[in-house]
Chains A and B, each alone.
Chain A
Amino acid sequence: MAKKLLDILSERFGSSIVLSTHDQCGDETAVLDAAHWREVATFLRDDPRCKMNMLVDLCGVDHIWDSQRLEVVAHLNSLELGHRLRIKARVGDEDCEGAVIDSLVPVWVGANWFERETFDMFGIRFEGHPDLRRILLYEEFEGHPLRKDYPAAKTQPLVPYREGPDVLGKLPPFGPDEGMVFGRKHLDYMKEED
C-alpha cells in the first residue's frame, strides 16, 4: 500500500528532491533533499492520497564516518488511511557545520519538542522553530551528547563536587573520581583526550 506512497512522491517531486527510496520488510523510506524538507512534508499532509496527519517521531542520527554527518529522521502515520512512511534527510558536513533544516512545526505542531530534543542532543538547528532551546539538558551544558565524538562518560556538573570534609566533618567515603567505574578505564574507545 505504501509502496504506492513512494511512487506518488517520486512522481510528484522527481529524483532531485526524492533522492532515493527503499522499503525493508514493508518499512517504506524516502530519502529527501534537506532543502525541500518542509515542502515534501506539507505535501504529505495535504494530499488526499497521503493524508499523513500524525507525526509519530522525529530524531537525529550521527553517521560519524560519512561526509554528510548528521541526519534527521521523521516517522509519519496516517490515522485515516492507515499507512506509515519514514522520511530522512542529511544535513551538515563532516564537522557538523551548517547542520540546518526547516522546522516541521508549521506542518505538525507536535514537532516542537521533538525538534528541541534533536537540537539538544545533536545540535541540528531547525529554521523557523518558535522556541529552539535545550529541552532535556541545561543551558550551561557544552556540546551535544549524542554526537558520537562526545566522550561517553564526560559529565558537566552544575554544582562543584565535594573534595573533603564539610562543616560537620562528614567525609565522602568514595574519592572524587570514584563511583560508576566498572573498569571502564581499560576501554580505549572511551578515553578522553586532554
Chain B
Amino acid sequence: MIKINNIYKSFGNFKVLQGVNLNVEENKILSVVGKSGTGKSVLLKSILGLITYDKGNIEIDGINTNGFSEAEFNKYIRHKMTLVFQNGALWDSMTVGANIDLALQIQKHLDVTEREKRIKESLEAVGLINIRNVYPNELSGGMLKRAAIARAIAMKPKYLLYDEPTTGLDPILSNIINNLIKKLNVEMGITSLIISHDIKGVESISDDVAMLYEGKIILTCKAKEMWEQNNQIFNNFIRGKIT
C-alpha cells in the first residue's frame, strides 16, 4: 500500500503540491485526474524518489521514504515499483529491445533466457513485437508510449505508476492499453496508480478515482460512483465543462 501523507513541494517560490493526501490500496487501480500543470507528474516522481518533496511523508508497504537517500530508494522501493514516464523517456541510444533488457540485466540480474522471454512477452502485450530492433527516434508517439509500457511491465513490479499512458493514442490503442493495465492488475495483482485524462478509460478500469486540484486532492471516490459526486469542480472537470 502507498500512503501519501500531507506532501508539499515547491520549485523556488512556485508552489506545486500543497498538502496531498492519497492512499493507493493493494491490488487496486487508482486513477488521478486533474488539470495540466497541477503537479500530477511531480507527485508520481516524488513517490519514486526522483524528486524530493519538501514536507510530509510517503509510506510504501509501511516504509517511510522521507529523507531516503538514492541508495535507499534503490534498495527498498525501486525494485518493486516502476514508472511509465509521460514522454516515454526511452533511452535513445539503444533499441527498444535493449531498453527493455537493460534493467532486467542490471537491476534484476536475470539470465539471458529469462530476459528474452520477458522482452518477447512484454512487447507482445503492447502489440509491438516487430519493433524490437528499432531505435526510439524512429517510432511514432503512440509506439513510444507503448514501448515505455513494455519496458515497465517487463520488470513485473508490485506497483506500476503510469503517467498518462493513453494520451496521444487512438481509441483502439487506448482500449488495448487500458485492457492491458486491467489485465496486469487482475492476473498479476499489480497495484496501479494512473494519471489520466482519458475519462472513459478511467471509469472502465479503475477501482477508485481522485482529483488533484490546486495542490491538493479534493476528492476521492469509487470509479463506479464518479458520475454521482457532489463536488462541482470534479463534476465539471470530468464532463469537460468550461467554467
A binds B: no
B residues in contact (CB < 8 Å) with A? none
A residues in contact (CB < 8 Å) with B? none
